[in-house]
Amino acid sequence: MILIDGKKIAAELREELRQEVVGLKAKHSKIPGLTVILIGDMAPSQIYVRMKEKAANEVGLKSEVIRYPEAVEEKTVLDKINELNKDENISGILVQLPLPKHIDKQKVIETILPGKDVDGFHPMNVGNLSSGYESSVPCTPLGCYLMIKKIEPNLSGKKAVMIGRSNLNGKPMAQLLLKENCTVTITHSKTKDLKAECLEADIIVAAVGIPELVKADWVKKDAIVIDVGINKTENGIVGDVAFDEVSKVARALTPVPGGVGPMTIACLLKNTIECFKRSQK
């Protein structure tokens, strides 16, 4: 079984990006800039933002975090986004989710210029992705896609099953694999026989949020299994896939932690650089 080492693949990607930033700086006399807006003091968001900032600095991007207290008015945030939209030194804007209840998430997402939407959540980017046009692609599925391609460069005709249909994971993941000519099934909480669907799959991407949902007898021999789940349990952090048993049947599997997580952050940097390049065209 191939253990898909997300940490290592992400480090390689960051090194490629670092070199690319050097080239862009020489060519355009400026470097891509990422601005992250962080509202409130939720511990996981603080950690994610710190990791994103550190990774951005490591590849030589300009990065900035704008922090607001939990009670900040929605208008203050939207005004700031509009200001950043106009700032030519900012290539990418990310508003760390989740947001406090009084702030309309969709309004925030739609205020970010699609060309600076490094999360790929703006409806324009969602539409472009599903139409097969150039777009920002949500970081987590993009990271999963790059790992799958490392294992199997030719995905044409493969059967892929997404577990979970979120806008963040399942849906964009399905679009990426459809573009690769996979036959894609998106399953969700109302799917009748999830095990039977999974048993058909050459590729399984689990993004559910249920600890160790996917068992060994759900997985076809030699399937590629990508575990997006991050679940806190008594035994620590586990994924949506029962790692020990599935590792005995799968061809390749991502660990949790150390699989999808590091790739998500590296892909945020990739998206920032892509936004910069498109803005220079």
Q: Which residues bind ligand NAD (CB under 6 A)?
A: 140, 163-166, 168-170, 187-189, 191, 194, 207-210, 228-231, 260-261, 264
Active-site residue, selected from the candidate residues 96, 116, 117, 227 = 96
Active-site residue, selected from the candidate residues 80, 116, 117, 119 = 119
Q: How far is the CB of 267 from ligand NAD (least distance, A)?
A: 9
Q: How far is the CB of 209 from ligand NAD (least distance, A)?
A: 4
Q: How far is the CB of 228 from ligand NAD (least distance, A)?
A: 4
Active-site residue, selected from the candidate residues 52, 80, 158, 270 = 52
Of the pair 80, 165, the CB lying nearest ligand NAD is at: 165
Of the pair 158, 165, the CB lying nearest ligand NAD is at: 165
Q: How far is the CB of 241 from ligand NAD (least distance, A)?
A: 11
Instruction: Kindly write down the DSSP assignment for every residue of the chain, as one continuous string.
Output: -EE--HHHHHHHHHHHHHHHHHHHHHHHSS--EEEEEEES--HHHHHHHHHHHHHHHHTT-EEEEEEE-TT--HHHHHHHHHHHHH-TT--EEEEPSSPPTTS-HHHHHHHS-GGGBTT--SHHHHHHHHHT-S----HHHHHHHHHHHHH-S--TT-EEEEE---TTTHHHHHHHHHHTT-EEEEE-TT-S-HHHHHHT-SEEEE-S--TT-B-GGGS-TT-EEEE---EEETTEEE-SB-HHHHTTT-SEE--SSSSHHHHHHHHHHHHHHHHHHHHH-
Of the pair 82, 189, the CB lying nearest ligand NAD is at: 189
Of the pair 140, 271, the CB lying nearest ligand NAD is at: 140
96 is catalytic: yes
Active site residues: 52, 96, 119
